[in-house]
């Protein structure tokens, strides 16, 4: 494959002659919520030079030796546990601490031992066993919860006295599928009673339950959960020292790895020269990188994080062109040029679009070359198709805005799941991961698996819930909230938001079912689930100033060391 060596920084001079659009719309792509005033450049304007001063050595002989020693102790602790309940709790802690990738074989050995273990009427143990087995891809059946039903088919009221059992049931219910009615009832039953119990519990227990009710474990972003759980686990009286020590060592090494990855991304961005030439475009490599940390939490996916961040950075700039800069006439030309996918196709474009076109063309071909070299498959046609589909979806939204058209909810969501960038990101991810690649995989990517679009719909809806207020104040395109309100004559926006949250819950059940399919590699399934999880974490609080911001997440995960004391 020939990849042009021409870099966009050599293409053109300043763009002062470019015309701005008289009206704009926002296409709401796979990006982080709009930054609060004074936020965008406060902490995240990090260049590779400044970042180099922060980067610790990735590994030293002493740290590697120490990690291996603690890892062996952790393996022994897990394998030597003969009590099934102790083993389940230990597995839950290991995965909560983010060190499951060190102990995958030992976890599966223990799960194999206890997969058929009958916990009798222990609600906590039954629920924990079900959740861990399903989370780790083991066959499970929700019929195990039938023993907790009364003659009317409802969960027994006596269960409400078991606080930790109820919480375990609630956590397990979030792994249910569309056709598992008993888990839908379990979620409704447990959440209602847990909410009633909170005022009567100690503050510490109440906070623990409230945290799960706000964001259950199944929906949490893995690296962020690991960081939070380390703090909780370090204060517990039943901690296993080897696990905590392994978690601390792993956290330090992963953080150092992320810093090096971000240094590479900043270096690439500077060499590309895209932001320097397009003064209107946002420069947010650190924020884009946070998405890939969410999608690929395991250390082994370093290259996947770097390459996918590049695509999201370019996607960010393209969004700014469609959002703030391009006239509808130019956007039509831009879309046609992208669909030609050759250098001659950009000749009729304004200079600023040529710069972006070249950046996209080069980066996509370079990623395709890497995949060809590492996995032996020619995938450039698949990668470029995802961008062609993206541009078509962008252009459709631009036409809606310019004509004042508000589409039906279904039409909006079908288009929005493409424009949000989810399918583009997951197709790239599939080939970058490289597991089980074949010509059949390429064929499957042409229509996009339902797994991808289901995850994308969750992302699209959370994005709208988190950013709609600000966008509507700016006069942007109607999003899912406005489409739903108009279509169903809903006057109260809160009612529409409630409906969307219920829809997201239904989509998660569908996604859980799709995740149990064996037709797509497990690594790709996990990436799809993780995309939906990352969207939930980033967008669920919207513009609430009292909660954690994206800035806080970046600082915590990438630049703040966990205290050793």
pLDDT in tens, the chain (565 residues): 333 333 333 333 333 333 333 333 344 445 544 333 222 223 334 444 445 545 555 555 666 778 999 999 999 999 998 899 999 999 999 999 999 999 999 999 999 999 888 877 899 999 999 999 999 999 999 999 999 999 999 999 999 999 999 999 999 999 999 999 999 999 999 999 999 999 999 999 999 999 999 999 999 999 999 999 999 999 888 899 999 999 999 999 999 999 999 999 999 999 998 888 888 778 888 989 999 999 999 999 999 999 999 999 999 999 989 988 889 999 999 999 999 998 888 889 999 999 999 999 999 999 999 999 999 999 999 999 999 999 999 999 999 999 999 999 999 999 999 999 999 999 999 999 999 888 888 888 888 999 999 999 999 999 999 875 655 555 567 799 999 999 999 999 999 999 999 999 999 999 999 999 888 999 999 999 999 999 988 887 665 555 677 888 888 899 988 876 4
Flag whether 470 is in a domain: yes
Flag whether 468 is in a domain: yes
- How high is the pLDDT of residue 283? 83
- Specify whether 431 is located in the same domain as 391: yes
- Specify whether 171 is located in the same domain as 301: no
Flag whether 253 is in a domain: no
- Specify whether 213 is located in the same domain as 362: no
Nearest to 338 by CA among 52, 322, 180: 322
CATH of the domain at 127: 1.50.10.130
- How high is the pLDDT of residue 57? 55
Cβ count within 10 A of residue 310? 25
- Specify whether 237 is located in the same domain as 304: no
Q: Which of 244, 264, 287 is the last residue of a domain?
A: 244
Flag whether 550 is in a domain: yes
- Token readout for 294 is 């969410």
- Specify whether 464 is located in the same domain as 407: yes
Nearest to 555 by CA among 167, 13, 44, 9: 44
Compute the C-alpha angle 432/437/439, nearest 5°: 125
Q: How many domains does the chain have?
A: 2
- Specify whether 288 is located in the same domain as 240: no
- Specify whether 283 is located in the same domain as 426: yes
- Specify whether 218 is located in the same domain as 349: no
Flag whether 39 is in a domain: no
Flag whether 285 is in a domain: yes
Q: Which of 244, 262, 295 is the last residue of a domain?
A: 244
Flag whether 508 is in a domain: yes
Question: Cα separation of 333 and 536, whole Å?
Answer: 35
Contact 269, 285 (CB under 8 A): yes
Q: Which of 200, 227, 244 is the last residue of a domain?
A: 244
- Token readout for 494 is 């809160």
- Specify whether 375 is located in the same domain as 477: yes
Handedness of CA 299, 512, 509, 186 (dihedral sign): negative
- Specify whether 239 is located in the same domain as 325: no
241-272 and 84-96 helices cross at what angle (nearest 10)?
30
- Specify whether 280 is located in the same domain as 180: no
Domain that holds residue 234: 65-244
CATH of the domain at 503: 1.10.600.10
- Specify whether 214 is located in the same domain as 283: no
Q: DSSP H helical segments within 341-449, as ranges?
A: 351-375, 380-403, 409-419, 422-433, 439-447
Nearest to 292 by CA among 282, 281, 307, 273: 307
Handedness of CA 430, 435, 437, 443 (dihedral sign): negative
- How high is the pLDDT of residue 230? 95
Flag whether 48 is in a domain: no
């Amino acid at each position: 494959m020939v990849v042009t060596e021409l870099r966009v920084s050599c293409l053109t001079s300043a763009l002062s002659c470019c015309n701005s659009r008289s009206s704009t719309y926002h296409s709401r792509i796979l990006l982080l919520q709009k930054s609060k005033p004074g936020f965008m450049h406060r902490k995240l304007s990090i260049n590779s030079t400044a970042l180099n001063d922060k980067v610790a050595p990735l590994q030293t002989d002493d740290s590697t030796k120490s990690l291996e020693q603690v890892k062996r102790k952790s393996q022994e602790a897990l394998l030597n546990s003969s009590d099934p309940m102790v083993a389940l709790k230990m597995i839950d802690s290991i995965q909560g601490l983010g060190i499951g990738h060190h102990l995958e074989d030992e976890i599966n050995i223990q799960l194999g031992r206890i997969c058929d273990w009958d916990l009798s009427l222990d609600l906590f143990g039954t629920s924990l066993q079900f959740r861990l087995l399903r989370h780790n891809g083991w066959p499970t059946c929700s019929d195990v919860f039938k023993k907790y039903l009364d003659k009317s088919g409802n969960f027994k009221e006596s269960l409400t006295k078991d606080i930790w059992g109820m919480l375990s049931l609630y956590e397990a219910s979030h792994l249910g599928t569309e056709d598992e009615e008993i888990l839908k009832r379990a979620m409704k039953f447990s959440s209602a009673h847990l909410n009633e119990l909170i005022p009567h519990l100690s503050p510490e227990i109440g906070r623990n339950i409230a945290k799960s009710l706000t964001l259950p474990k199944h929906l949490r972003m893995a690296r962020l959960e690991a960081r939070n759980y380390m703090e909780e686990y370090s204060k517990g009286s039943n901690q296993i020292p080897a696990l905590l020590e392994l978690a601390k060592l792993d956290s330090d090494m992963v953080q150092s790895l992320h810093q090096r990855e971000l240094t590479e991304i900043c270096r690439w961005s500077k060499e590309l020269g895209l932001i320097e030439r397009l003064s209107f475009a946002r420069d947010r490599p650190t924020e884009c990188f946070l998405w890939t940390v969410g999608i690929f939490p395991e250390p082994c996916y370093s290259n996947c994080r770097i390459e996918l961040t590049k695509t999201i950075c370019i996607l960010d700039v393209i969004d700014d062109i469609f959002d703030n800069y391009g006239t509808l006439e130019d956007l039509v030309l831009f879309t046609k040029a992208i669909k030609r996918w050759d250098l001659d196709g950009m000749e009729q474009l304004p200079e600023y679009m040529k710069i972006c076109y070249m950046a996209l063309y080069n980066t996509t071909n370079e990623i395709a070359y890497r995949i060809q070299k590492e996995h032996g498959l020619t995938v450039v046609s698949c990668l470029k198709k995802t961008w062609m589909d993206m541009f078509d979806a962008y252009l459709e939204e631009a036409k809606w805005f310019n004509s004042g058209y508000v589409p039906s909810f279904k039409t909006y969501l079908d288009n929005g799941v493409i424009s949000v960038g989810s399918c583009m990101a997951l197709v790239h991810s599939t080939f970058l991961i490289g597991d089980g690649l074949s010509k059949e995989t390429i064929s499957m990517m042409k229509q996009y698996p339902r797994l991808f679009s289901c995850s994308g719909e969750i992302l699209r809806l959370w994005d709208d819930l988190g950013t709609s207020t600000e966008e509507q104040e700016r006069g942007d395109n109607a999003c899912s909230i406005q489409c739903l309100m108009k279509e169903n004559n809903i006057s109260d926006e809160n009612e529409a938001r409630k409906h969307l949250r219920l829809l997201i819950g239904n989509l998660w059940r569908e996604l859980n079912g799709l995740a149990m399919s064996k037709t797509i590699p497990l690594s790709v399934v996990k990436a799809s689930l993780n995309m939906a999880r990352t969207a939930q974490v980033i967008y669920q609080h919207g513009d609430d100033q009292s909660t954690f911001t994206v800035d806080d997440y970046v600082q915590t995960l990438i630049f703040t060391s966990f205290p050793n004391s």
